Each structure stands twice: as structure tokens, then as C-alpha cells.
Structure 1
Amino acid sequence: MKPTYRLLAVLLVAISALPAAAQDWQPTEKIDHYNVNGTTPMALYQSIGERGPKLSLGRVIAHTTFKLTWQRDYQQQGAACVLATAKPRLIITYTLPKPAQKLAPDVAAKWKAFYDGIVEHEKLHGEFMRDLTQQIQDVSIGLRDENDPGCKKVRAALQAQLKPISDAHVARHSEYDRVEMSPGGAVHQLILSFLNP
């Protein structure tokens, strides 16, 4: 059976410039569940199709979103400006299905294997988001212009650095989903294993 629902990563980035310090950071991870009805694998899967998160391309099994904001300390040093620190605040949210009814032991075991596989897939999207954040921090700290009163040049230089990083990040997510959800891919196999007797 060919799967009709896909996992998608929704990339929500908000970047703000606020004074701060400290380079050490840890993301905050959240899990939001949505209820699915049914007591058989097929009924549960059909409920996912009816109740799963609705994105631009339709309903999906699960998805990962993130919000990324920054506290940045631009320091004027005479005529020069340096971006001394850049501290991220990354919130990753995983939206995942959860059965609304108690399942028989055999169905519960199949659900657990299916759910655990979906979580593993989504967690890697979360790792990609951590990587993105670290890459942005790496190109931010120490960015300097020797003739930049008001720090306008350094801010513009940072924005120029962010686009290729963001583009590569989006491409990485897309390629990961393409491989995982193609016939024979890990997500495709999860769905088949869940639905087949």
C-alpha cells in the first residue's frame, strides 16, 4: 500500500537583535499530541489522514517546527563595530499522533513500533535545526567592520551570511524526507509494517 500522508518539517524562523552575552545554549523541546481514533492499524492510520496536522500540501502524520530568536551584542569600538556575542533561543516542537482509545496488546505493540519510528524521524529534523542554529552562531560571533559607525554594515553582512545557510538547511530537510518517504525508505517501511497483518 502506497502511503498517502507525508511527514513535513515546517520551518519557522524569527530572528531579533537584542543585547546579550554567553555563547552556551541548549534548545527547548516540546511535544504536542493530536488524538487519533480507532482500535485497528487501518482505522488509526485513516484517522491520521483525517485528523493529522493540516499543512499546505494536506494532512500529515507528524511534523516538526521551530522558532529561533537571537540576543545579539553589537559593540561599537571607535569607528569599528563587532558582533561580540550571539545567543540563540531555539524552541523545537514535535507534533505527533496519539491513540484516543485503549488498544489491544497486539495493536499497541504495532503502534509503539510505528510511533517510535516516527519520533526517530522527527528527532533528526530537530538535530538539523540544532545544526542550523550552531552554524548561524559560528558565522555571527566576531563579525567585524573597521569603519561602521552605527553597526549597519555588520548587520547587513550578517544577513548576507544567513541566506545560504538557510537555503542549505531547507534543502537538507527536503532531501531527508524524500529519501525516508520514497518506496523502501524508512518511513515508507514503517507504514507498511504498521498496516500489514
Structure 2
Amino acid sequence: MNKVALAVALGAGVVLAAPAQADTKVETKTKTYSISGKTGEALVAAMDRKGPRQGFTTRAIAQTKYTVGWKFEWETRNGSCRLAKADGLLNMTYTYPKIANDVSPDLQRRWSKFFSGVKTHEEHHGALAQQMMRTAEKSLIGLSSRDDPKCKKTLAAAQRKISAVYAKYEAQQVRFDKVEHREGGNVHHLIGGLVRD
């Protein structure tokens, strides 16, 4: 599951007339937490104890967190304001479990398959976040307001558009997790394959 924070940074100033541009950067890092166990059940129990927090009482096997920021440049002319450039920054952090002890070849094989599935799940969250940024960029193209010499109305419109895109993609993130975590879903199959003796 993902957690998102939205921040908007303003780049004030007048720029030369040009079509609105977007230059989103994506920065990704990966963290791990150590678990120990000689059986699949022991590894699952260790992830339940040590995994990244999701809410106040639950822990996840793995997690994708991201923050989004924007820097805007404006063009003002004759009292009107136009968004000339929107630079987005998507910071993503993946957190995964890592076995800290030696395990049997059979358990290592099951762990490798389990971990591959977990990684695919988290990378789907990351892909949705990147799609969110591309959609937000497109929604900002051509944004302008008349009678807006300080660009306040245009900024408010940009924030509304970004927030609407964010809400749409957050709903997709939640739906994806519901499908993956439901009884008989992919995550249950992954755990079942790991704990099978």
C-alpha cells in the first residue's frame, strides 16, 4: 500500500512565451528490514512483527511510499496569468523484507518466488504513482486565467487539478490492494507458497 503527501512549491516570475512544459523527475530508493526464521511460518511471523507500519496497529510485508512536489513558473501579461512550466518531483521509497539467517535450499527457493511476487506488487504501486504524475502534467497544459496578475487563481486551479488526479489514482491504489489482498487473491497465494512444507 502507498502513502502520499502532496506539496506544491511555487516558482514565481515572468518567463518568455512558450508552450507549457513539464519536466517530472522520479527519485527512487529501496530500504530493507531484517527478518529471521527457519520455516515459512517463522518468516511470515517475523514480517508481521517487523514489517513497515500501515496505520496504527497493522504492519505490511512490504510498502511503497511516495511524496509529490511541484515547482511552477508563470507568465504574466496584461493582467493575465499562464502556467508556462510545471516541474514535478516524485520521491518513491520501497521497503522490503530481507532474510538475515541461513535457510534451507527449499525455503530459499520458496522465498525467492514469494519475494519476486511481493516486488511485482510494490512496483505496480510505483507504476501507478508515475502514471499519476504523467496525468497531472497533461491536466496542467494550457492552464491560464484572465484578471489574475498575481497568478493566485491559476495556482488555485492547478492545485485543484493535481488534487483531482491524486484522488483518482489513490482510488486505483486502494482498488489494486483490495484485489491483491482479498481471500484467494495474489498475496494469499504468495504467502501460501512460502509457508507450504
The yes-or-no answer on 1:16 pairing with 2:15 is no
Q: Tell me which residue corresponds to 1:51.
A: 50
**Equivalences for 1:1-197 in 2 at 5 Å?**
8-18=1-11, 23-56=22-55, 57-197=57-197
- For the structure 1 residues 91 and 151, does the alpha-carbon distance in structure 2 shift closer, same or farther, using more than 3 Å as the test? same
Question: Which sits farther off after the overlay, 112-121 or 15-24?
Answer: 15-24
Q: Percent identity?
A: 30
- Please tell me whether the aligned partners of residues 144 and 154 of structure 1 are also in contact (alpha carbons under 8 angstroms): yes
What TM-score results when the alignment is normalised by the length of structure 2? Answer: 0.90
RMSD: 1.7
- For the structure 1 residues 9 and 119, does the alpha-carbon distance in structure 2 shift closer, same or farther, using more than 3 Å as the test? same
Segments of structure 2 that go 5 or more residues without pairing to the other structure are none
Per-residue deviation at 1:22?
Answer: 5.6
Per-residue deviation at 1:26?
Answer: 4.0
In 1, the alpha carbon distance for the partners of 2:3 and 2:79 equals 41
In 2, the alpha carbon distance for the partners of 1:76 and 1:15 equals 19
In 2, the alpha carbon distance for the partners of 1:31 and 1:189 equals 24
Question: Which sits farther off after the overlay, 9-18 or 21-30?
Answer: 21-30
- 3-state secondary structure, aligned to 1:12: strand
In 2, the alpha carbon distance for the partners of 1:18 and 1:121 equals 36
Segments of structure 1 that go 5 or more residues without pairing to the other structure are 1-7
- Please tell me whether the aligned partners of residues 18 and 70 of structure 1 are also in contact (alpha carbons under 8 angstroms): no
- 3-state secondary structure, aligned to 2:64: strand
- 3-state secondary structure, aligned to 1:101: coil
Per-residue deviation at 1:183?
Answer: 1.6
* Aligned-partner residue type, residue 107 of structure 1: L
What TM-score results when the alignment is normalised by the length of structure 1? Answer: 0.90
* Aligned-partner residue type, residue 155 of structure 1: L
Across the two proteins, how many residue pairs are aligned to each other? Answer: 190
In 1, the alpha carbon distance for the partners of 2:162 and 2:139 equals 9
Question: Which sits farther off after the overlay, 117-126 or 156-165?
Answer: 156-165
In 1, the alpha carbon distance for the partners of 2:111 and 2:5 equals 29
* Aligned-partner residue type, residue 62 of structure 1: A
Which structure 1 residue ranges, 4+ long, deviate > 6 Å from structure 2?
A: none
In 1, the alpha carbon distance for the partners of 2:160 and 2:26 equals 25
- 3-state secondary structure, aligned to 1:167: helix
In 2, the alpha carbon distance for the partners of 1:155 and 1:93 equals 28
